[in-house]
A and B are shown apart, each in its own frame.
Chain A
Amino acid sequence: MNKFQYVKPATLNEAADILYQNGDEASILNGGTDLLVRMRDKMIKPKVVVDVKAIPELKELKYTEEEGLFIGAVVTMNEIVCSDIILEKYKILAEAAHEVGSYQLRNRATMTGNVCNASPSGDTIAPLYVLSANIKIFSKEGIKLVPIDDFILGVRKIALKPGEIVVGIQIPPIKGKNGGSYYKHSRRKDVDLATVGVAAFCNEGRWKIAYAAVAPTILRGYKAEEILNKLDVIDDTTLIPAMDAAVEEISPISDVRASKEYRFDMIRISLKRAVLAALEQYA
């Protein structure tokens, strides 16, 4: 690992200054579960590592009827898995957070970190797409909210400029009947990356679908959603057109985890299982 300067600012302003002054040479250290691996492998060589875990605003986890859920940037996956309000109102998020890495890793890893790492297989990102999450960003100019699908630009590419820092994730309140589920297909049951993932969420009969690990970014399954929205009865048979649509919507690659062909097969099964599991939650 290369030498670097470690700083731990206590306020958002201080952090923004450091990030602005150092531009591309600074990296934000949150849980560190992705950053440190990339530094060890020399994929990145930051000169300044900015630890944001001392900034009070980033530690918040709160819910209001008006604004919905706010998950501060440094809230860990295990905190999310164990949050009563998330389990009650956004179970799909707790489910997805529980899929990330191992228990030990989830003590460090954060959902904001997962989003900012912008890996196509990031387990919590697809659920955030179907929940229409916004990324809350601080800069000296003020606070702005960016929809998650505008925030994630590509593999490990996000819309964050020098001097900007993610404060947390804002998820709108959900009104009416709803249910959601994240289905992850992986080689091993635990502690594995998604070979294919599907998040399915239904609110008052309207579906939102997102696919993971089958394109450079998480993809919304607009075609599948359209088909699902028209279905009166959802079961193994009536789901087939939506499963066919999913295949058309993705552009997977072959890698050491699976071939492209297997990913096409698994998107069908994952979509079916995610939708059926979401229906079981629907209430």
Chain B
Amino acid sequence: MYKYVGKDVKRVDGLDKVTGYTKYVDDIKMPGMLYAKIKKSPYAHAKIRKIDTSKAEALEGVKAVITGADVPNRVGLYLEDKTFLATDKVRFIGEPVAAVAAVTPEIAEQAVELIEVEYEELPSVFTAMDAIKPDAPLVHENLGEYYHGPIFFPKPGTNISNHYKIRKGDVEKGFAEADYIMENEFYVPHIQHAPIENHSVIALTEPSGKVTVWSACQSPYAVRKALSVAFNLPLHKVRVISPAVGGGFGGKAGTTLEGITIPLSQKCVGKPVKLTFTREEDMICSFVRQGCLARIKTGVKKDGRIVAEENTFYWEGGAYTEYGVNISRAGGYASTGPYDIPNVKADSYCVYTNQPVGGPYRGFGMSEIHFAIEQNLDMVATQMGMDPVEFRKINAIKEGGHTVTGQQLYNVGITKCIEAVEKDIEWGKKSEPSGPNKVRGKGIACMYKAPSMPNNVASSAVIKINEDGTANLLVTAMDIGQGSNTVLAQIAAEELTIPVEKISVVTGDTDITPYEWQTVASRITYCAGNAVKKAAQDAKEQMLKLASIALGLPAEYLEFKDEHVVSKIYPDRKISIASLALGLEMPDGSGVHGPIIGRGSFIPPNVRNTDKETGQGDKPVAFWTFGAQAVEIEIDTETGQIEVIKVAAAYDVGKAINPQLCKAQIEGGIVQGIGSALLEQQIMDKGRVLNPNFVDYKIPAVSDAPEMIVRIVEVPEETGPYGARGVGEPAMVPTAPAIANAVYDALGIRINSLPLSAEKVLKAIKDSQK
């Protein structure tokens, strides 16, 4: 039915990337460019008594030195709790306190060492549970004064920067009706995004005061907004260009180094200032995934129906939670997972700690809570003597069922996903281990996720039709590896009937490309996709009018076909898109209309706030994506090493615009999920990161990738372009709990925390034998 949508179109950015041509921010060199370095806090929590920059300023080659005094405005996407450099105090080890711009990186580094900072150490907190104690030292004494979005609920005078509540049904009554009640606790540690490209920014201030930044960022418009607030600049005086993003995974969603390079560049007008983080800085000073402690109390009937659940999540948000508060909110409104439970009490707390800053990470809270939810489900099923797959089918949200916020759902594909992975992993069938001292096990986990974003976030697209019948598509959706350039070109191609190779996609320049809220939340195919579709339709409407004049036929008798406007009745009566691109030329030589420029705007329809006290609302999110994964693993019982042999994954993506890219996304997610399951943990000692490098922070290598069977389920989302939903983040969510469940299947042992390192597994085996 479709010509371009649903096809395995090759990546439009592929050739430039595989040939190494793509220019990332750190590749850019400009005449007269200066290099910046940052001075970092050695303390987890301390008052800044004095900063002396005189020696650094005196060093030859140093052009500017800044401290917190130069960047006093508080910024933040959801809660304005941070400054780009520490002002009154430092709140984590590695927090930037000063910065230098110099003619070489070496001089900048030398100058940083000459900056003298006097600190007064303060007591610190390193776990959420310690931080919520009444006598805990406060990370932010002035929390009550911070500006925040209306959907967040900070508790001034505590370390809790958001408390999201769900009160659904009558949880007391639910537990009273339950035949069994079980309680479990789980923990996931902080982990790293580990993109191949480190954070990098160049800032240039022009004599007029206009600031341009070249930033490896996922969200140029959100960054522009934050920078305008931070530096009291009107939006038209801030230009954010994102030339290319070498992997984001959420870590490049907010503002990062822009806030440090801009004030330096303002002191060196006309000279670009570049700051590129080292890998160590990337791992310590930029976003990490927050730690999360989850407690789940479940009430179940004998027939397997869950009738009540009480969930509490404590997020270790780190020193600033400007972004993290929204992760705790997402954890709250998704707190039961993809199951229909009538009575729920959930509390999700975002907690400040003196640790690196927690922020968005692929999955945005879902990986963390599903590690708890999906293991808990297996534990409950085991206790009841039920099969984990059957137990999930009983409780999964059905057609017309309700989420934890009371939203009624239709077009729900979760059961289909469960059935698909059940079949592909050969559930219930034991396979032979590869040798002695090896045991095998299978595990399943489900997930759901909605885009975690404010209700009315906007997208837009512009399509310019060229006089040779090609087109330029302008969007600020960023291709961070997920393939959005290709998918959006396919959507434009489908609508315009112009082949993908005749469409050039231009992205990431706030002076040129139209508004996009952010490239996050698995929302781009859905949100930007809708905007592109509308822009193409707008261009088509303009061309239809002109074609109608040219062909002497009413517009309703015309259609677009193969780069032409064609009569539905007389297919030989047609006019090419190329000849309409600059307007219509009349027989007398005059022209009408002028160039065809299509514009499309989109806001997810009817997404509304939830109730502050109960968290209930009929449509708190744009859509839900459901999925399931089942895994088979083999454990070496002498070493504790786990090998993931096979992963079966199924996702209801509504409509795969590009099935090959969609499957590749899911495969990537599985491998990232395996990393978080088996290897990854930011090891910290009193706030100090002990493994800020790839020597001791291991992500999966190619030999760790298992056999993967990926199935795409397509139950259309009625508001999505061609029925599409997002899948980028959902791809990694169920992997870790499925592996943990497989560990139980193999050994009869539960491990309630990540990672499932060989050492931890071996210890559990030995403990179980005592």
Binding site for B on A (CB under 8 A): 1, 3, 185, 187-193, 256-259, 262, 265-266, 269
State in angstroms the CA–CA spacing of A188 and B757 once bound together: 10
Residues of B within 8 A of A1 (CB): 106
Q: Do A256 and B683 have beta carbons less than 8 Å apart?
A: yes
State in angstroms the CA–CA spacing of A188 and B759 once bound together: 12
Q: Do A192 and B698 have beta carbons less than 8 Å apart?
A: yes
- The segment out of B39-47, B134-142, B689-697 that lies at the interface is B689-697
State in angstroms the CA–CA spacing of A1 and B107 once bound together: 10
Residues of B within 8 A of A257 (CB): 696
State in angstroms the CA–CA spacing of A185 and B639 once bound together: 9
Asked if A265 meets B762 with Cβ closer than 8 Å, knowing A189-B701, A256-B696, the reply is yes
With an 8 Å Cβ cutoff, the count of chain B residues facing the other chain is 20
Chain A residue nearest to B105 in the complex (CB): A1
Q: Do B701 and A191 have beta carbons less than 8 Å apart?
A: yes
Minimum CB–CB distance from A14 to chain B (whole Å) comes to 29
List 5 tightest A-B contacts by C-beta distance, closest first: A262-B759, A190-B701, A269-B638, A188-B698, A189-B703
State in angstroms the CA–CA spacing of A192 and B679 once bound together: 12
Return the contact of A262 from the options B690, B696, B700, B762 (Cβ within 8 A). B762
Q: Do B758 and A187 have beta carbons less than 8 Å apart?
A: yes
Return the contact of B639 from the options A3, A192, A259, A266 (Cβ within 8 A). A266
State in angstroms the CA–CA spacing of A269 and B758 once bound together: 13
Q: Does B52 belong to the interface (CB within 8 Å)?
A: no
State in angstroms the CA–CA spacing of A162 and B639 once bound together: 44
Residues of B within 8 A of A266 (CB): 639
Asked if A190 meets B703 with Cβ closer than 8 Å, knowing A259-B759, A262-B759, A269-B638, the reply is yes
B696-717, CB under 8 A of A: which get 1 and which 0? 1010111110000000000000
The listed residue with most A CB atoms (<10 A of its CB), out of B695, B698, B759, is B759
State in angstroms the CA–CA spacing of A256 and B697 once bound together: 9
Residues of B within 8 A of A189 (CB): 701, 703-704
Binding site for A on B (CB under 8 A): 106, 638-639, 679, 683, 690-691, 695-696, 698, 700-704, 757-759, 762-763
Residues of B within 8 A of A192 (CB): 698
Minimum CB–CB distance from B769 to chain A (whole Å) comes to 13
Residues of A within 8 A of B695 (CB): 193
20 residue pairs of the A-B complex, CB under 8 angstroms, read: A1-B106, A3-B106, A187-B679, A188-B701, A189-B701, A189-B703, A189-B704, A190-B701, A190-B702, A190-B703, A191-B701, A193-B695, A256-B683, A256-B690, A256-B691, A258-B759, A259-B759, A262-B759, A262-B763, A266-B639
Given contacts A188-B679, A189-B703, 10 further A-B contacts (CB under 8 A): A3-B106, A187-B679, A190-B701, A192-B698, A193-B695, A256-B691, A262-B759, A262-B763, A269-B638, A269-B639
Minimum CB–CB distance from A198 to chain B (whole Å) comes to 13
Chain B residue nearest to A265 in the complex (CB): B762
Residues of A within 8 A of B679 (CB): 187-188
State in angstroms the CA–CA spacing of A265 and B700 once bound together: 24
Minimum CB–CB distance from B59 to chain A (whole Å) comes to 15
Q: Do A188 and B704 have beta carbons less than 8 Å apart?
A: yes
Minimum CB–CB distance from A263 to chain B (whole Å) comes to 9
Q: Do B691 and A187 have beta carbons less than 8 Å apart?
A: no
Residues of A within 8 A of B757 (CB): 187
The listed residue with most B CB atoms (<10 A of its CB), out of A188, A257, A259, is A188
State in angstroms the CA–CA spacing of A187 and B680 once bound together: 10
State in angstroms the CA–CA spacing of A189 and B641 once bound together: 10
Chain B residue nearest to A188 in the complex (CB): B698
State in angstroms the CA–CA spacing of A131 and B701 once bound together: 32
Residues of B within 8 A of A258 (CB): 759
Chain A residue nearest to B755 in the complex (CB): A187
State in angstroms the CA–CA spacing of A31 and B748 once bound together: 48
